[in-house]
Amino acid sequence: MPLLKTLEAWSFRLFGPIAPSFLKNVFEFKDYLERAKIKIYPETYVSLMFLAAAMMIPLSIIGAVIVVLYGFLPVIFLIPAPFYVMIGFMAVPMSRSGERASNLEREMPFATAYISVMAAGGIAPYTSFKRLAQVELMPAMKVEAREIIKDVEIFGTDPLTAIQNAAKKNPLDIFKDFLSGYSSTVIIGGDIGHFLERKAEDIFKARALRVRAAAERLGMLLETFIIVNVMMSLCFYIMFSVQNIGIGGASGGGDVSTIIMYTFVLSPMLSIMFIYLAHSMQPKTPVTEMRPYKIFAVCSVAGIALFMFLFLGGSFGILSQMPVALALALFISAAPAAVVHGKLNSKKIGIEQGVNSFLRDLTEVRKTGLSPEKCIESLSHREYGVFSKELRKISSEISWGIPLKKVMTDFIARTKSWMTQIVMFLLVETVDVGGGTIEMVESLARFNNLTQEVEKEKKASTRPYIMMPYFAALLLVVTTSMMLGFTTGTLGVSGSAAPSNMGWIRQVFTTSAIFYSFMVGIVAGKISEESIAAGFKHAAILVIISIIAAEIMPIVLGNFLSSAMPKSPSSSSILLFRWIAK
C-alpha cells in the first residue's frame, strides 16, 4: 500500500518529534497495538493520528463559520471533528484487541482439549501447536499457533520462551493463564499431562459460566428491546393518531408520512442496533449456514412482486388492502426460509446429539481391545438418530479400505455443524497420533459431553423469553386497533366529523403494526437462538397473528360499542362523551 506508506512517512516527518511526549504523558499505544496485532511503531501511529486530525481542521473551521454567520446549529457537531479522529485512532486498537480475544475465546476450550488429548498420547504441546497451525476449523488459534512457530523456527527462540512471549502479547486472560501455567509446570518439573487435563476442564467450566451469564444478559436485552420498542411505538402511535384523526378531522385528512418514516426507517434501525448488541454478546462459530438467507433473498423478491401486484392492482377485494397485501408478502418472504432453517437446524442438533452418544459408546467398545476402525464398524448397527445414516456410510467406506482420516475428512466437509466438525477432527487426530487409546477417547468423550451440557443449559435459559415477542406484537396490534376505534367513535358521538380518509389512516396504522411485528420476530430469533435465520419462523408466525388480530379486533370492538351504547342516547351521555372528547 504505497499511499499508506507515504502518509506514514510524511506524518512522522511532521509530528514525529512530539509523538514520544504524547506516548509518555497522554496515552500509551504500545501494549494495545501489540495485542491488536497492528504492525506499526507507536510513534508512527501517533504521528499518523495527528496528521489525520490536522486534515479535519478545515472542516471544523467551515462548521464554525456556518454556525456563526448563518446560525445553522446542526453543523456544530463538525467543529470537534479533529477530536473525533483522535478518539477513533485510540478506539481502533482496543476494538481489534477485543475482537481478537473474542475469536480466540470461542475456540479456546476445544484447543485446550486438543492439546490435552494429544498430551495423553505422548505429544508435546509445541508439536500440538504446530499441528494446530494447519487446522482451518480454528482460524483464531491457527493464527496464534503460527506466531509461536514463527518465533521458534525463524527467530531461533526456544519453544518454552516463545510460548511465554505469546502469553504476554495476548489479550485473552484464559489463554495467557494456560500458556503461563504450562511454562511454569515445565520449569518446576510438574505433571504436564495432569495440568493440561485439569486446565481443559477448568476452561470448559468457565465457558459454561460465561454461557449462563450471556444467556441472562440476552434475556435482559430482549426485555429491554420489547419495552423500548412497545412503549415507544405506543407513544408514537397515540401521538400520530391525535395528529391525523383529531386535527385531520377538521382539515379533511391528516399526513401519514411521519408514521411511515417511523415504521420503515427508525424502527428497523433500532432493531438492527439490538441485533448488533446481541451479536456482540453471543458466542460465534466460523461455520455459517447460508442457505436460509439465500432462500429469503429469493423469496423477498417474490414477496415484493406479490405486494405490488395486489396493492397496485386493487381488484382483489380484501387482498388488495395494504395491511393484508404486506402481511402476505412478508409471510411469503420468511416462511420458506423458516422451513429450510428448521430442517437444517433439526438435522444439525440431531447429528450433534448422535455424535455425543457415539463417543460414549466408542469409549466402552474400545475397552474390549478392538481397533478404532472395528469399533466404528461395530457401532454402525446401533441407532443414533440422524447421525446413524452418516455413521453407516463411514463404516461402509472404512470396510472398502479407505483410510479413516480420509473418511472423516469427507464427513467433516459434508456437515455444517462446527461442533461436530471439531469433535470428529479431534477423534481423527486422536487415532492418527496416538492410535486412539482408551484414555484419549475417554477424554474426548468427556469434553464433548461437557460441551453438550453447556449448550443444553444455554437453550434452557433463553427458552422462557421466547413468548415475550408474541405478547408484545399482539399487544401493539390490539392496542392500535382499539385506539383507532375508540377515537373514531368518540369523534362521532361528540358531533365532530371523522377524517375523510379515515380508511386510509386505519390501513397505514395497521400496516405499521404488522411490519413492527415482523421486525420483532427477526430480533427475537437472533437474541433467543443466536441466528437471524431463526427469526424467520417467529416473524412469519407473528405476521399471521397480527393480520388476524387486526381484522378481527375492529369487529369485536364494534360489537362491544354497539352493545354498550344505548340506541337513543340521553343528553347526559352525550354531554359525557363530549367531555371525554375534550
pLDDT at 252: 43
Which region among 18-22, 333-337, 374-378, 382-386 has the lowest average model confidence (pLDDT)?
A: 18-22
Query: What predicted TM-score, i.e. pTM, was given to this entire model?
Result: 0.77
Residue 162 has pLDDT above 70, yes or no: yes
Which H or E run contains 373? helix 372-379
Residue 253 has pLDDT above 50, yes or no: no
User: Exposed e or buried b for every residue in 390-416, given b needs 16+ CB within 10 A?
Assistant: bbeebbebbeeeeebeebbeebbeebb
Name the pLDDT band for 570 (thresholds 50, 70, 90). very low
pLDDT at 541: 92
Residues 176, 167 contacting (CB under 8 angstroms) = yes
Which region among 166-170, 374-378, 485-489, 577-581 has the lowest average model confidence (pLDDT)?
A: 577-581
Q: Mind listing the pLDDT tens digit for each residue in 185-236?
A: 888 888 888 888 888 888 877 877 777 777 778 878 888 888 887 778 778 7
- Check residues 543 and 460 and name the one with the higher pLDDT: 543
Average pLDDT, the chain: 80
Which residue, 478, 580, 487, is CA-closest to 254? 487
Give counts: helices (H), strands (E), the chain: 25, 0
HEC profile for 448-515? HHHHHHHHHHHHHHHHHHHHHHHHHHHHHHHHHHHHHHHHHHHHHHCCCCCCCCHHHHHHHHHHHHHH
Q: In the chain, what is the greatest distance between 2 CA atoms, to the nearest angstrom?
A: 100
Residue 572 has pLDDT above 50, yes or no: no
pLDDT at 502: 67
Residue 562 has pLDDT above 70, yes or no: no
pLDDT at 334: 92
Grid-cell match 397473528, residue found: 545
> Span 331-359, mean pLDDT?
90
Residue 247 has pLDDT above 60, yes or no: no
Residue 576 has pLDDT above 80, yes or no: no
**Grid cell at residue 324:** 393484508
Per-domain boundaries in the chain: 2-97, 102-205, 215-342+462-581, 348-456
> Span 312-328, mean pLDDT?
78
Amino acid identity at 581: A
Residue 242 has pLDDT above 80, yes or no: no
Indicate the fold that domain 348-456 takes in CATH. Answer: Receptor-associated Protein (1.20.81)
Name the pLDDT band for 434 (thresholds 50, 70, 90). low
Q: Mind listing the pLDDT tens digit for each residue in 500-518?
A: 666 777 788 788 888 888 9
Whether the CA torsion 259, 260, 263, 269 is positive or negative: it is negative
**% pLDDT > 70, the chain:** 87
> Span 92-114, mean pLDDT?
85
pLDDT at 574: 44
pLDDT at 209: 78
**Grid cell at residue 118:** 494429544
Residues 480, 554 contacting (CB under 8 angstroms) = no
Q: Compute CA distances 376 → 42, 362, 367, 397, 579, whole Å.
A: 55, 7, 13, 11, 82
Name the pLDDT band for 412 (thresholds 50, 70, 90). confident
Residue 278 has pLDDT above 60, yes or no: yes
